[in-house]
Amino acid sequence: MALIDLKGISFAYPNGNLVLEGLSLSLEEGDKIGLLGENGTGKTTLLHIILGLIRPAEGEITIFGERYETEQDFKKIRGTIGMLFQDSDDQLFCTTVLEDVAFGPLNMGMNRREATYTAEQTLDKLGISHLKNRVPYQLSGGEKRLVSMATVLSMKPEILLLDEPTNGLDKKTGKLLVSVLQKYPARAWIMISQIQSTIEAMSNKYCKMNGGRVDLV
């Protein structure tokens, strides 16, 4: 059984621009898909559709063998599928780094002590414990990305959707992020990236967006 199975997904923006057209994709256990494609071909849109952030005009989304259609359905899955956004400023909004990392665990029903513990552990794994009392918006670009990653990993997701994880990072921070992700016991992930070294280091399957569909390369 595929972990995520998309069938015949079509999506158009309100301006009528059709970005996805009859797209099908299945993510199997152990798949580390590197998703390639030019700008504006709907890669980010695809990830948002998997998490129910936007609804396709047509098509079926099956996750762990169950059909997902409404907001209520997707709410259940959002802790299990973690998504790293392209722009860290979208993801970080709390007073302190620690609070931001604990936000997900608290929403999942952990109490304050458990959430703080989980957040601290996650920061430690990423080697950024020293940032825990800093204000997220005052961090550098690289630090922001690492903290964003921590906010996702602290929810212990089984599947990851990564939107350009190493984009705009210096070599050292990029390598650190890749090594953290390689060690993370994810069952599968889909990663968008334009950076050849990241794609090579982190994928075992390559897909290319083409005319609203995904082709296996």
Per-position x/- string for 130-169, each x denoting binding to other proteins as judged by CB under 8 A, each - no binding: -----x-x-------------xx--x--------------
Question: Closest CB to other proteins among 11 and 103?
Answer: 103
Q: Is residue 102 close enough to count as binding other proteins by CB under 8 A?
A: yes
Strand bridging mode 188-192 / 18-27: unpaired
- Min dist CB 30 to other proteins, Å, is 23
* SS3 annotation, the chain: CCCEEEEEEEEECCCCCEEEEEEEEEECCCCEEEEECCCCCCHHHHHHHHCCCCCCCEEEEEECCEECCCHHHHHHHCCCEEEECCCHHHHCCCCCHHHHHHHHHHHCCCCHHHHHHHHHHHHHHCCCHHHCCCCHHHCCHHHHHHHHHHHHHCCCCCEEEEECCCCCCCHHHHHHHHHHHHHCCCCEEEEECCCHHHHHHHCCEEEEEECCEEEEC
Counting residues that bind other proteins (by CB under 8 A) gives 32
Given the rule CB under 8 A, which of 59-67, 82-90, 168-176, 179-187 is the region that contacts other proteins?
Answer: 82-90
Question: Closest CB to other proteins among 91 and 166?
Answer: 91
Question: Closest CB to other proteins among 140 and 196?
Answer: 140
Given the rule CB under 8 A, which of 7-15, 93-101, 123-131, 168-176 is the region that contacts other proteins?
Answer: 93-101
Given the rule CB under 8 A, which of 7-15, 48-56, 168-176, 202-210 is the region that contacts other proteins?
Answer: 48-56
Q: Which residues bind other proteins (CB under 8 A)?
A: 48, 51, 53, 75, 78-79, 82-83, 85, 87, 89-91, 93, 95-96, 98-99, 102-104, 106-108, 112, 115-116, 135, 137, 151-152, 155
